[in-house]
Copies of this chain bind each other. A is one copy, B any other.
């Protein structure tokens, strides 16, 4: 199957201009991958191998707490990069698991190749700054929502901003991500359906 670089370039272009030389580098180093549903592509305990761009599909990031409970820290419905940046940048073992919830089409680059492309291209550092800053804003907003919105309001906001997540991702993951007990989320959904 043909690798879908257009979606990648469209996504990057939202943040920064990519000169042709950097597009060439992307085409050379990013490799397509087709992952079947319910696969963990980066397990906890290991240094992340790839920087993953999701062309299509639904992914989440989760870790196990001290009681063995899965805590979902991020859910994606992008085109979007999806990686534990801390462990990816610093090459430290991750505490998180990157989980393809549905079949996913990815474009990904090996961690070591990222250091090579940083020397070849001109825009990578600037792009890294842009994407980290974007991720920072997303997480700041998530924290603000968790301090200011009720459980019901958080669910409604997710439904409004990412309606397909609710249709494609098991509710227990969504409940964990929103900080709501699954039973409570069920009740909230019932109340809303009236």
Q: Which listed residue (B65, B86, B128, B142) contacts A137, Cβ 8 A? A: B86
Shortest Cβ gap from A122 to chain B (Å): 12
A5-13, A21-29, A52-60, A172-180 - interface stretch? A172-180
Of B86, B132, B135, B177, the residue contacting A147 (CB under 8 A) is B177
With A125-B129, A129-B128, A129-B129 in contact, do A85 and B136 touch (Cβ < 8 Å)?
A: yes
A33 to chain B, nearest CB (A): 25
| Interface check A146, CB cutoff 8 A | yes
| B143 and A73 contact, CB distance less than 8 A | yes
Closest to A144 in B: B73
A interface list, Cβ under 8 A from B: 65, 71, 73, 85-86, 89-90, 125-126, 128-129, 132-133, 135-137, 139-140, 142-144, 146-148, 176-179
